[in-house]
Amino acid sequence: MKVVSVIGARPQFIKAAAVSRALRAAPGVMEVLLHTGQHYDENMSELFFRELELPEPDYNLGIGSGTHGAQTARTLEKVEQVLLQEKPDWVLVYGDTNSTLAGALAAVKLHTPVAHVEAGLRAFNRRMPEEINRVLTDHVSELLFAPTENAVANLRQEGIPEKCIHLVGDVMYDAALYYGEKADGRSQILHHLGLQPGTYILATVHRAENTDAPEHLRAIVEGLAQVAAEIPVAFPVHPRTRKALEAEGLLGLTGARLRLIEPVGYLDMVMLEKHARLIATDSGGVQREAFFYRVPCVTLRGETEWVELVELGWNRLCLPVSGTVVAHAILEMVGKKGAEATPYGNGTAARLIVARLSGEMA
Ligand code: UD1
Ligand code: UDP
């Protein structure tokens, strides 16, 4: 069985690392790794391949950045060429980026079945580019690997046939279990940044709804600056966010206590997450990782796809409408614990996905 895995953005390298290891260990399975090139900076791409021991991509399409239409269209055209050449049995796509949608569309148009990892997530907000990507990808996929019960319920609600839906758990949890321990031995980030465990807040922001809305971006930075007066904040900055902060003249609010750093590798990120007092983020992956390490989290959005974390009390939503609102939400959440539960499976998602793909599991 030949599988083409389409990846292109930072979180997809992490998810694919877990699945790729299982795929390559399965007898009779051949994986062709296709990197679209959506993310291309060294610390947004190559660093992850090295650290996560992902094999070199068989193809790198070098798509780069652009408007949604241009980026998706370029990817669609180039993925199609690879699929015509490789003639795989399955195309495996992850999450909800433009690379996900382009990979899925290229495949179904060639009548190649698509398997979608992280199927069924919904924010019920069609203004999010990710929502469009995930809805469309789910509806052209033949195998939908859902990470949570809520995701399964969303797919049923949309009339996806029951036989296509498989609850397997979250591959990000598999990755956290596998790499989480390695981080302790291999990351020096706390030492480099002069941070003591449990004494700082970790922040990340990159969603279009925050970076492209100056009022939200300002509220987040002002809120983090207020918090930093009490608890220092470490903020690894996505390149998109750095550009927006520069354009809005917000870099002046940052400094030694609200400390902007370049994007970090996964092991450093895990280390920063594990030892944070609280995490403030608009990232889907970081929200779950906060829970994996039992660190309270404030999600800097009005809604989340990972609703179980809010229900359990580990996560609180905060639409960033002003600096004061953001600072209050964060400071109130410091020290909070939620209820114990295992909504993301038991770390066997990758294995279940590979078993289903190779027909071992009905
Ligand atoms: C993309 C995904 C988002 C995901 C995120 C993970 C889409 C629509 N969005 O958002 O769902 O959560 O990846 O990080 O697919 N840039 C660089 N260097 C890079 C990559 C990006 O400078 O290596 C800058 C460029 O200015 C680019 C901007 O970041 O225009 C946005 O990059 P893009 O890949 O379009 O979207 P993300 O915001 O990264
Ligand atoms: N991450 C990382 N370095 C960083 C920021 C994030 O390794 O500087 C990791 C993070 O631990 C998580 C993944 O990237 O595993 C999340 O990706 P991102 O926030 O870019 O996208 P999302 O999950 O929101 O799609």
Say how many CA atoms lie within 13 Å of 39 toward its Cβ.
22
Q: Which of 35, 206, 216, 238 is catalytic?
A: 206
The whole-angstrom separation of Cα 343 and Cα 245 is 35
The whole-angstrom separation of Cα 131 and Cα 97 is 9
Decide: helix, strand or coil at residue 105: helix
Decide: helix, strand or coil at residue 29: coil
Instruction: Sort 213 into a burial class: Cβ within 10 Å, 0-12 / 13-18 / 19+.
Output: middle
Side chain identity, residue 248: E
Ligand with an atom nearest the CA of residue 180? 2
Decide: helix, strand or coil at residue 179: helix
Residues in a beta bridge with 94: 117
The whole-angstrom separation of Cα 157 and Cα 149 is 12
For position 361, what pLDDT does the model report?
56
Handedness of CA 326, 329, 335, 340 (dihedral sign): negative
Q: What are phi and psi of 32, to 5 degrees?
A: -110, 120
Atom of ligand 2 nearest to the CA of 281: 19
- CB of 300 within 6 A of ligand 2: the answer is no
Using 70 as the pLDDT threshold, list the residues of the chain that sit under it.
Answer: 360-362
Question: Ligand 2, from 100, 204, 281: best to mutate by most atoms within 8 Å of Cβ?
Answer: 204
Decide: helix, strand or coil at residue 341: coil
For position 68, what pLDDT does the model report?
98
Please enumerate in sequence order all residues whose Cβ is within 8 A of that of 15, keeping only pairs 6 or more positions apart, or say none: 7, 94, 95, 117, 118, 171, 172, 175
- CB of 137 within 6 A of ligand 1: the answer is no
Side chain identity, residue 25: A
- CB of 129 within 6 A of ligand 1: the answer is yes
How far does the chain reach from its first CA to its final CA, in angstroms? 17
Question: pLDDT tens digit string along 300-359?
Answer: 999 999 999 999 999 999 999 999 999 999 999 999 999 999 999 999 999 999 999 988
Tell me if residue 206 is catalytic.
yes
The whole-angstrom separation of Cα 253 and Cα 243 is 15
pTM metric for this prediction: 0.98
The residue to which tokens 């279940």 are assigned: 352
Please enumerate in sequence order all residues whose Cβ is within 8 A of that of 255, keeping only pairs 6 or more positions apart, or say none: none
Handedness of CA 262, 264, 268, 269 (dihedral sign): positive
For position 181, what pLDDT does the model report?
87
- CB of 14 within 6 A of ligand 2: the answer is yes
The whole-angstrom separation of Cα 326 and Cα 299 is 10
